[in-house]
Each structure stands twice: as structure tokens, then as C-alpha cells.
Structure 1
């Protein structure tokens, strides 16, 4: 049995950021990850300026930005190529003082692992439970290992073991949509550098984002497709690409070309789940962070961003208050309203994107054409302009 200051369950983006933030604050922290080895999991990731502000607080903004590509404009198109709206995110980036960056989740993970160095992250450690003992906590693992710490941070994602032990009555909610995601290297830009595209059809949303250039000079592109669908749907074996193409045939270029150029093994299908806001995130020396606490639908691109904010705020409050339990409750009191608001914005943002009725779709497209960009910018400002460290 070993003893650590903070025991962090989960080696995803939130857990790794929490370990970095805590160690920079002069606190001991160790991460326990169930995976046996690091593998490229997930696809592209959008880091809005609020996440980059958090990385700046950790001294990592430059390294993170250098691992991906920034964008300055989001272009919304109809499926046939007609431009519905253009939104300059440059305005918000200047206000916040940080760019908006697209990069591979696995590359961000490597940036964070290099920052932590060896000996901090323990692989093959599947948490099975925990017991509060005095002022600390004892954590157990499937291989019989036990560790103790001053506090336990459950950063183990959507299917969190820590959350299940704290709140066994809590259930995930299906967001009503499924997604396919892919990453592909192409010889040309495909879309203008500095742009992100969103393309809309009847009940179908397709996105394209730059993730930077490879050493060979090719462009790495991330795309996603989202549609309303019953929960638990499956594609035929080897049929992810064909499933995506069935929804976007005849669409504006480069949609079909990108999908056809993506290897079947590089396409992921995932149902979208979320949590209703929890009345509390922890008890005693135990708390939650990231998706474990506030999984949200993806329509604002804020899931990872909020986990990174969590990590920085948590470390700040633990550094300022030597009473660990009080610091954890302060963290929860500060983060719960912010993340609940972002979850609600995400749900509202997605409400008109997946309309199927032809008249409703016509009205949506008209609204996107006539709505002043300042309205959309104000909604984004609520997400990325919030001073979460105040």
C-alpha cells in the first residue's frame, strides 16, 4: 500500500491537467488510469479560448497551440454549398487573449504526459472503489492494489466508478444523437486555413476542422457527422464509412471526398450521452471533475474545455486552503453553476441543428442567414469570455 497527496482516477485530459495543476501548486498528486497502455483514443478536439486561458495559467498554452492549428472563422453552409452564415471567432480570441485551437486528443495527451514526466501516471489501474478513513481516503483497484491519499478526485469520465460509488442512483441520459468522427491526412487544405466548416441538411450536421500540418507537409483534417438516432445503433462490420456516406451523398465538396479518404479503422461511432446537473459532486475528501461530474452534449464543444477549467480552479483552491475538505466544497460551489450553465447552453444550441421537417429546416436556414453574427457571438462570449479564475 502506498500513500499520495491527491489520488486522481482517470488519465484523460481532465485528470492529467489536474495532476499538472496540483503539482505546480506544490501538492502531491498521482494519476491512476485503467488502460494498460497509451493508445491513440478519440479523434479531434476543439479547445476554445477559455481552455487555452486555463493552459496559459499552467504555462502550457504555447505547447498546446503548437500541437494543433488555430482557426479564426466558422462558416455555416447548407448541404449544397450555400453559405448560411460566417462567424468570426477572432473577435473573442482577441478579447480573451488566447486562440481557438483544433488538435488530436492523443497529441494533447502526449503534451500533458511530457509535462508530468515519469512516475506520476500509473497504467493498468482499474479503480473498484474507495473508503473514507479519518481525514483521508483509501482507494482499491482490480489488481489488488491499494493507495491512500488526502483526497480523491474522480476524473474517470462518462462511466465514472467514483461517481457510481458516490451517487448510485444517477443515470446517464441519452442525448438523442449518434456521431461518427474521423481524422484523415490530405495533400491540400480542403477548406481555407484558419476556417472551421459546419454543414447542415435535414437532421444532419457535418463539421470539418484543421488539426495542423504533418512533418511530411500534408494537412490533417478532422470531420464529424451527427444525426438523431435511436440509442445503441450499430453499423455493419466494416461499415462505418458506408454509414456516413449514406447521409452525405451529393453534398458540397469536400464532404464525400474526406469521408472516402478516411480509413475505416480511423472512423469512430459514438452515441452522445450527458448528465443532468448533479445536486452535489462529492462528500468528505472526495470530489468529481470533468465528464464524471458534468458530461454534456457536444454542440458547444465545451466538454474538454470545462474539464480543463475544473483542474485549474481545483488546484487554486486546494493551494489557498489547507483544509482539504473545505477546499473541495469551495471548488464544487464555484464550478457547479458554471458547468450547469454550459450544459444548458449546449442543449439549447443543439435544439435547432437537427430539424427534419422541411418547413422547419427552411426556417432554420433562413434564421441563420438573417441573424446578425453579433447574436451568436454573444452566446459564445458567455462560454469563452467567462473569468473562471475570478
Structure 2
């Protein structure tokens, strides 16, 4: 029993990425026991896995509330105070401003750094590393859920029993498929070349000097460069790293190994460089060439789901709302999902679990639905794709009033914290 005689419930979380560790924090804060099932063999501490991300002001406050030493979030990130969208003419080697906001108030982090920060602040015994999720079943009286997993190192299959299941298993969620067997992700029409350049050993190289001159606000600015039917994203990370993304319109590729990240060959990288030279200024091209092991993400989202709770199962993060990256929402939505879920559960004893999950769904579903559709719309604008209510966007001739939607501040509910949060 927890304080005041309230029954302490147990949650099983499937997925140990940001959504999973955030859910663990929120539920522990609410007085719940938590077990996190993750197929990776060990924590990705100090791993180069992943790329750059940004946190808005609400997410920053939530993460700080979970950390024993809140200052660590600021010392592990860089501020992003400027949101700058520019048009780029690679042939003439010129850029000009389309829209600028100097009150962004985001912070930039590497995925692995944020994950380590959150993971290290959790009790060490709640994670089951190297456990492959297999299936789940809900008891006839809906009083518990059994999760079956396989221990990868031994092959042993075990069952974990909890009051409810949190599906934090990403945009390709197999738990979601249990309820929506016909569900399919929607291909956006484009993929993203991505990379993180570590320039700690070549801070004074020709490429870095050129980048600093071409992008003088690196370190505090979210740069978005728009060409004809394409765009890039560029921002600096802590520890002398630069995160870059280049979105390219193309037919949908085949996914490999149930992942939206695809391997690339040396020939593909060479062709990417050649195409970049036709579109982007030389400094950007040099940055791409200096980056080791660039990779490709296939960009998906889905039409907003009508529900994200079924009996004793709740979807969070990308399992609940796959989204394109243009509004910097994926990580922020996952963190807010976790915080709201925790507060809903904190209000209810375990016997009122379904009421708490229903409240969570009613709070989050309208918000995430609008944000998913907004990000889709902005992505199609930036990629010059067909739109139902306007001509395809051309940054070369765009008027200032057309460009305001490109800014992060145009995101619905940005900066709004649900009233259930303190």
C-alpha cells in the first residue's frame, strides 16, 4: 500500500526509448511500481546512437521536475533562442530570410545525452534490458495484463504481470497492431538524410570556419534552409557537434528490419553529395562531406487515431501519434504524454485505472491530433508538395505573410501545459 492507504499499482512499459523512460519517471512520481521491457541489451549511455532533437519550454520544465539535479538539463544542452527560415539559391550561392523569431526558447540535445540523463535518474532495477516483447493478454475481469517477453541472452520466455500496459514501442508499434491490425503508416513523400558532425578534433578546419561564417548564429539558432521542393535543418549540439537534416522528395523505399532508418552505401552517399552541390551553398555541402556515416530516415506519420486507450493498454509517444519531424514535436509529445498520464494516475487509486486512462485520452487526443496534422501540412509546404488550399510553396517568390507558418510558434498548443499539470 502507498501513502494514505491507497493501493499502489504496477505498470509494464514496453519500450525503453525517450517515451519509455519518461513514462517511468511520471509513474514513479505518481506512486506506481514500474517495469520497463527493452530489447536492447544495455543502456545506450555515451552512445552515438540517434541524432539531434529540441525541447520546448513545457518539456524542459517537466524533465527538470524529474531530475534530482535539475541543472543537469541545462549543462547537457545548448539554447535555441532563434528560429530562422531562409531561402537558398545554391546556383548563386545566396540566402535570404523568409521568417525569423528571436523568442524560440527551445534547447538542443543529442538523443543519447537526453536518454542518459533521464535513465540515470531512475532506479536501476526497473529496466529489463535484453527482453524482447512477444505478446500480451488482458485478464477476463480486466484487473491485470500479462506481458510475455523473451530473454535474448538465454532464450527463456517469461511473463510479467501488471495492472496495465504502456505501449512506448515507437511508430512501428506491434502493440498498436494488436488493436488496429489494418493500420498502416502514411508515407510523407520524402526521406531525410541525417548526420551529426563531431568537430571536436577539427574545430579550426576549413569546413568549420566556413560553416561559422555562413551560419554565424550556430549555437543558439535553429536554421532551416529552403530550396525549391526541398529543405535542410541545421543546429549545434553540446560537445562540439552539429546536427543536420536534408529532406528529399522521392518514392517510398522498402523498410529494412522493421526500422524507419535505412542503411546507405558509399555510392548512395556519393550521389547525395553530387545532388547537394546543385542545391546548397558550398559550406553546407562541406559539412555533409565531413560527417561520418550519414544515414537515411524514411518519413512517416499517420492520420490521427480515434483512440489511444484500450482497456488496460495505453499508447504513448510515437506509438500513439507517429508524426513528421517539422514541428519538433515527437520527443516533446512523448514527454507530455508521460507527464499527463502520471498526473491522471496520481488522482486515482488503482481501482479507478480505467477512469484515469480515459481522462488521459480525453486530454491528449485533441492536442496530438492537431499537432500531427499541422506538422504534416508544414512539411508539405517546405517540400513544395501539392496542398489542398494553396499553390505549392516556392521560397524563391514567397511573400512574408506566407512564411509565418514556417515558424515553430505556429504549432497548435505550443507552450500550453494542460491544467492537470502543476
Q: TM-score, normalised by structure 1?
A: 0.88
1:161-220, CA deviations, whole angstroms, 9 ceiling, x for partnerless residues? Answer: 2111122121111111101110012215733231121111122211111112x2xxxx21
Deviation, 1:8, is 0.3
Contact 2:223 2:235 (8 Å CA) reproduced:
yes
Q: Provide the residue aligned with 2:154 in structure 1.
A: none
Alpha-carbon distance change, 325 to 301 in structure 1, aligned in 2, over 3 angstroms? same
1:305 paired with 2:336, answer no
Partner of 2:224: 198
Report the CA distance between 1:10 and its aligned residue: 0.2
Give aligned pairs, total.
371
Indicate whether 1:20 and 2:25 are aligned. Answer: yes
Could you say what secondary structure the match of 2:85 adopts?
strand
Of 290, 294, 300 in structure 2, the residue corresponding to residue 273 of structure 1 is 300
1:128 aligned partner: 134
Cα distance in structure 2, aligned partners of 1:241 and 1:62: 39
Q: Which of 9, 12, 22 does residue 7 from structure 1 map onto?
A: 12
Displacement after TM superposition at 1:56 (Å): 3.5
Superimposed CA distance per residue, residues 202-245 of structure 1 (whole angstroms, 9 cap, x where no aligned partner): 22211111112x2xxxx210001111111116776234532432
For residue 128 of structure 1, give the secondary structure of its aligned residue in structure 2. strand
2:356 paired residue among 327, 334, 337: 327
Matches of 2:301 and 2:123, distance apart in 1:
32
2:14/2:168 contact within 8 Å kept: yes
TM-score (norm 2): 0.81
Return closer, same or farther for 1:363/1:45 CA change in 2, 3 Å cut-off.
closer
Alignment check: 8 A CA contact 1:76 1:85 kept: yes
**Equivalent residue in structure 2 for 1:314, among 341, 350, 360:** 341
Structural RMSD (CA): 2.5
1:175 matched residue in structure 2: 188
Residue 235 (structure 2) aligns with = 209
Please show how residues 34-73 of structure 1 align to structure 2 within 5 Å. Answer: 34-39=39-44, 40=47, 41-59=49-67, 62-73=71-82
* Corresponding residue of 2:84: 75
Structure 2's unaligned 5+ residue stretches are 1-7, 152-156, 255-261
Partners of 1:315 and 1:123 lie apart in 2 by: 23
Structure 2 residue 144 is matched with structure 1 residue 117: no
C-alpha contact 2:101 2:407 (8 A) present in aligned 1: no
- 1:84 matched to 2:97? The reply is yes
Q: Distance in 1 between matches of 2:296 and 2:96?
A: 28
What is the match of residue 284 of structure 2? 255
Unaligned runs of 5+ in 1: 94-99
The aligned residue for residue 418 of structure 2 is 388
Relative to 1, partners in 2 of residues 1:308 and 1:377: Cα closer, same or farther, differing over 3 Å?
closer
Distance 1:244 1:334, change over 3 A: same
Which residue of structure 2 aligns with residue 185 of structure 1?
Answer: 198
Q: Residue 398 of structure 2 aligns with which residue?
A: 367
Distance in 2 between residues matched to 1:363 and 1:205, nearest whole Å: 11
CA distance, structure 1, for counterparts of residue 313 and residue 267 of structure 2: 42
Q: Secondary structure at the match of 1:384?
A: coil
Say if 1:32 and 1:85 are closer, same or farther in 2 by CA, change over 3 A.
same
